[in-house]
Structure 1
């Protein structure tokens, strides 16, 4: 299919993290985990402009500290190394030394600058890194530009995830194709502030570090910051974007005629990954989307939406296919946002439950049947302004408790 118009953003169904020009990947099994790959690498042929957002949890893992320090030096990255099975969090000076050792091993392997390597880890908190497995594994990584290499990387970053999370789009800017792809992991400990569990985005757009950072921060607030699985924010959350510039478009800035096109492209990638994470919540059987209209501002609408989708009582209501809209009303009220208690409308799917804060005419069995779907959409109208926002989450099931009760065993 050909892109013919400025406003079109085309999803590439066969695309992957290595589809944008200049990128390759690798993944392998070092036996840190019992099964499947646990060490991955993204490599760019050239030093790429980089941007990142990180968890606001005050307890931050060693890899975050190393990656922040490296990006702050020059605003560029050429490689990202990721391990799963061990978070390298709360591991003291030894953990910091190990994260630096991973960075140096990758730099030596690829003959690139030390500060052009980002490090990310995910897994169990408080256990020392098994460096006797990690370093030999790094030395065996061979980044390649083929489908299997991308799949190997996607698998390497997973923990309790039940599926790989990846997406890819392209658009036209300055009459050249700009491609962008993303890969993420996350299904538990998800209630991010400025990031999700782990997300990696590649693009061949020509854009400087500062403007890429501005775009990522803006988009994160509308995507990754609008998902919740269990209300917990990880010590290891980060999202990194690398831009190779090899598409050779005119450098993107907010003054560029097609700046918004680029921001929309980034938003599409981030929103896809965010929804996949919410859908794959630990033990989840249903994706929940909450749309809030008529708020005082977009920001307040987003906060109401996230409060509703994050409510344990709303989540269990959806799991049990019980149209108990009182739980939704409760969550709206506890959001702390501006509202008029007498003007609220609530609909689940196409069915109105509440109009001007009064019960509507609906058939309980019809609502219950709708709630049995794999995707449940709630629409809330506060009827006091023009603000709009949305958020995503999942139901809360018995399996969530089972998975987390035996996480280390």
Structure 2
């Protein structure tokens, strides 16, 4: 179950960036589950990572290697998160990096590892090492589709986004893939996302751009309120297009908008493919006295099991939305001035049900696949937007059977 088209868009190649995918048989024989990404020499790399205190071994190692600079390869396995594995997990992540380093002639510090899958199980290092040569042999600048499939776990569809920008006389490409369907409430980014551009951007500018853009995209989606141990998002700038961009550049706003568009599409694709999802929900909170107040209100609605199950049932039980706003922790909330809309239908005003509201109008909105819930707190000028899903029977089944 998922919302919207299931097809991966045609992915534009990024000069200086190649992807290779192989089957290591980590969880299921014959399944694509190992991806190697090769970065051109001199590429800039930025990353944002989970803030879960039990961050996975590959996250710790990737942050360390990113700090060392000059990253040349990204190594991703699915089927095993290598999280909650202690010192042995760190050693296993390093062993995988060492194997790839040996086969590419690179220092081990130039390899960033990523893992996703079951938490608390030993990483099958031997299977991963054995499959690395096949992934290297498959390296291609057109390998996006295979890689998008190779990083999937409970996803029902591959996720990708691409933009080609005409910046003066130069064409700059931005392409990316992501994975994630459950355990999604990013506190940095999403489960896994990889975005590359052939523009040349200095590492510090690239890091600032990624941090700000991920905060406005990946940090605004939630499926179930659970922040993963393995969340990682990487932005690579190869420089192969020959155009150098800085925040002072004439073309920087267009470039930054392109990066934002790709990350937003990838983030929303995760919501559309949320485990068991049948609805794509946008929650818009305006009139807040602070950004925090707007986000707290939006996430209280997005995380409410009662709201989410009503959405699944297409039940216009608007009182659940009202109750969520009321418990969002807003100090001195004026119930008589705030308004709540379901799509274009006003459901709450003057402290209760809007006089214009009808059950038929509410039902018409709830029957849609894509729904907007709008809250105007009438307290200030801050506004925020969050994207989420409904909560279905299938979500429970998927996660109850996850390890079987």
Give the drift of 1:181: 1.2
Q: Contact 1:299–1:387 (CA<8 Å) still a contact in 2?
A: no
- C-alpha distance 78-234 of structure 1, shift in aligned 2 (>3 A): same
| Distance in structure 1 (CA, Å) of the matches to 2:313 and 2:320 | 13
Q: Contact 2:245–2:252 (CA<8 Å) still a contact in 1?
A: no
Length-normalised TM-score, structure 1: 0.91
Q: What are the Cα deviations for residues 206-250 of structure 1, in whole angstroms up to 9, with x where unaligned?
A: 111111111111111111111111111111111111110112223
1:61 partnered with 2:82? no
- C-alpha distance 128-50 of structure 1, shift in aligned 2 (>3 A): same
Give the drift of 1:146: 5.3
2:225 matched residue in structure 1: 231
Q: Contact 2:46–2:236 (CA<8 Å) still a contact in 1?
A: yes
Give the drift of 1:121: 0.2
1:102 partnered with 2:111? no
| Distance in structure 2 (CA, Å) of the matches to 1:209 and 1:356 | 51
| Distance in structure 1 (CA, Å) of the matches to 2:347 and 2:305 | 20
1:334 paired residue among 309, 327, 333: 327
Q: Contact 1:24–1:143 (CA<8 Å) still a contact in 2?
A: no
1:21 partnered with 2:36? no
1:56-205 matches, within 5 Å, as: 56-74=51-69, 76-141=70-135, 142-145=137-140, 147=142, 149-205=143-199
Structure 2, unaligned runs of 5 or more: 1-7
Q: Contact 1:47–1:116 (CA<8 Å) still a contact in 2?
A: no
Instruction: Give the 3-state SS of the residue equivalent to 2:41 in structure 1.
Output: strand
Instruction: Give the 3-state SS of the residue equivalent to 2:42 in structure 1.
Output: strand
Give the drift of 1:127: 0.7
| Distance in structure 2 (CA, Å) of the matches to 1:357 and 1:110 | 66
Instruction: Give the 3-state SS of the residue equivalent to 2:193 in structure 1.
Output: strand
Length-normalised TM-score, structure 2: 0.92
Q: Contact 1:283–1:398 (CA<8 Å) still a contact in 2?
A: yes
2:4 matched residue in structure 1: none
Q: What are the Cα deviations for residues 17-75 of structure 1, in whole angstroms up to 9, with x where unaligned?
A: xx22111111121111225211111112323211111111100111001100000112x
1:383 paired residue among 375, 378, 384: 378
| Distance in structure 2 (CA, Å) of the matches to 1:286 and 1:248 | 43
Q: Contact 1:306–1:392 (CA<8 Å) still a contact in 2?
A: no
1:276 partnered with 2:272? no
Give the drift of 1:300: 3.2
1:294 matched residue in structure 2: 287
1:303 partnered with 2:296? yes
Q: Contact 2:302–2:388 (CA<8 Å) still a contact in 1?
A: yes
1:9 matched residue in structure 2: none
Structure 1, unaligned runs of 5 or more: 1-11
1:342-361 matches, within 5 Å, as: 342-360=336-354, 361=356
Instruction: Give the 3-state SS of the residue equivalent to 2:39 in structure 1.
Output: strand
| Distance in structure 1 (CA, Å) of the matches to 2:78 and 2:89 | 15
2:364 matched residue in structure 1: 369
| Distance in structure 1 (CA, Å) of the matches to 2:32 and 2:204 | 34
Q: What are the Cα deviations for residues 351-406 of structure 1, in whole angstroms up to 9, with x where unaligned?
A: 11123433222221332232122211112211222212100010001111111111
1:217 partnered with 2:211? yes
- C-alpha distance 156-307 of structure 1, shift in aligned 2 (>3 A): same
| Distance in structure 1 (CA, Å) of the matches to 2:241 and 2:297 | 40
Q: How many residues align?
A: 393
1:48 partnered with 2:18? no
| Distance in structure 2 (CA, Å) of the matches to 1:123 and 1:174 | 43
| Distance in structure 2 (CA, Å) of the matches to 1:210 and 1:164 | 30
| Distance in structure 2 (CA, Å) of the matches to 1:286 and 1:271 | 18
| Distance in structure 1 (CA, Å) of the matches to 2:9 and 2:275 | 26
